[in-house]
Amino acid sequence: MRALEVVISLLLAAVPVIAANSAAEAPTCGALCIGLTTVHSGLCNVTDIECICTNAALNAEIQSCVTANCTIKEALQTQKYSYGLCGRQGEDRTALVWIVGITFGAIGLSAFGLRCLARLHLGAQSWGMDDWVMCAAILLMIPLCVLSVPLTQHGLGLDMWFVDFDDITSILYYYFWDEMLYITALALTKVSILFFYLKVFPKRSFRISAYVLIALNICYALGYDLVLTFQCSPIDGAWLSWDGEYNAKCVSINILGWSAAAINIALDLATIILPLPELFQLSMSWKKKVQILLMFMVGFFVTVVSAVRLRSLIEFGTTSNVTQDYVEVGYWSTIEVPVGIICACMPAIRSLFSQVFPSMFGTTRGDTKSGYTFGHSQGYPSKMTGPSRLASNAGSAQIRVKQEWTVMSNPAENRSDVELRSFEQQIAGADSPKRITFHKNRLDEWSKTEKSPTRGPRRQDSRDSHETVV
């Protein structure tokens, strides 16, 4: 024992700058492992601090001794002591944690704000179930991202041995709630997207599939929230049992993390793939197809983020450096949720931009109640001029009326120009003095009259203008 005291004294004497601080912080268990392992291994002289700090084989033996003979708290204190002894600096990623959280939280909130602005522009009738569900997702995203600030204040992003024991407990407590916020927010985001699908696609088989996915997402969120809540018995063991001194029985958080991530990726892919067959049947310009494709690429990016996050789960729950190794899984989670919300808000944002920048985003026929715009599978001409064109078209081919058109006519002395305008154009405030809606057989009768040699062209004035219901 006397020899060991001499060894430790020599070690401290070799580094007088840190001796006063490190000696007080070095636990007895750690000091014994450092001193005895150095003497017994013969790899380094006890006074050669540089050799002790840089010899990998010696450090591995010291680490094994500490792991086998010291408590978790003593091991952390020993690691902190060795860093000070060797003049090493730990890694600091605290800024990364809160910058990622606040930045992506602000972007997600901005996307939701534009969504609400689009609803305000279209009227209260455009607000639907998908918007209410998105409100719930936003209410969960905000604390998920904001919690990155107190997490860094307690030391997330620093090496665990530089963090106070009480702060480690606080970090794990915040993570306990973060896990449930993350799971639930992702599920609600997908549910919101699926409710949006129900607004746009009326096909019965599609709607059944959408409702099934909604039910699966709800079951996923409720199931994992319950499992995460009761992952330890008692419940507070989830944030108190890290030091091995608190008696609690816990399931493997690593298994929970991997299984939840795998199911989430499967639900992501199902939600993205579900509407693709319906979208391929739409007839629209290449510009609109590219815009819709870009929206779905954002959805695929969410899935990519989920896959990248899997790599950070390798050490999740089994690491010996919690406050450092939980950084990646934390910031990827705070990226994934806002990006998913952005994806869910993009159709509404596009609808808003199509009103503000029509030349860039264009306008398409769609569900005027929902406010989302998608092209129909059929295209129609918007204008025909002159009764002679109506007559020739009626005589050469049978007219097929596939949707209601309103014929706008302006009085003229000899003849009138006839313009077909859709219902949406009337709403937009087009100049329309009178309105005539033609049925097919009425067009045929009118065209025959025009071709009759005994009668001249019919003059149409304001008194002739009337409305016929199809």
48 annotated to bind ligand: yes
CA distance 305 to 342: 14
Residue 9, φ and ψ in degrees, nearest 5: -65, -40
Place of tokens 């009118």: 446
Looking at residue 161, the DSSP 8-state letter turns out to be G
| Size of the chain in residues | 470
DSSP string, 15-62: -HHHHHHHHHHS-HHHHHHHHHHHHHH-SS-TT-HHHHHH-HHHHHHH
Are the CB atoms for 329 and 260 separated by under 8 Å? no
Cis omega before residue 358 (within 30°)? no
Q: Sign of torsion, CA 205 281 346 185?
A: positive
The span from the CA of 118 to the CA of 370, in Å, is 11
- Phi/psi of residue 250, nearest 5 degrees: -125, 150
Structural tokens at position 76:
């952390």
- Are 33 and 60 in contact by the 8 Å Cβ rule? The answer is no
- Residue numbers in the known binding site for heme are 48
- Residue numbers in the known binding site are 48
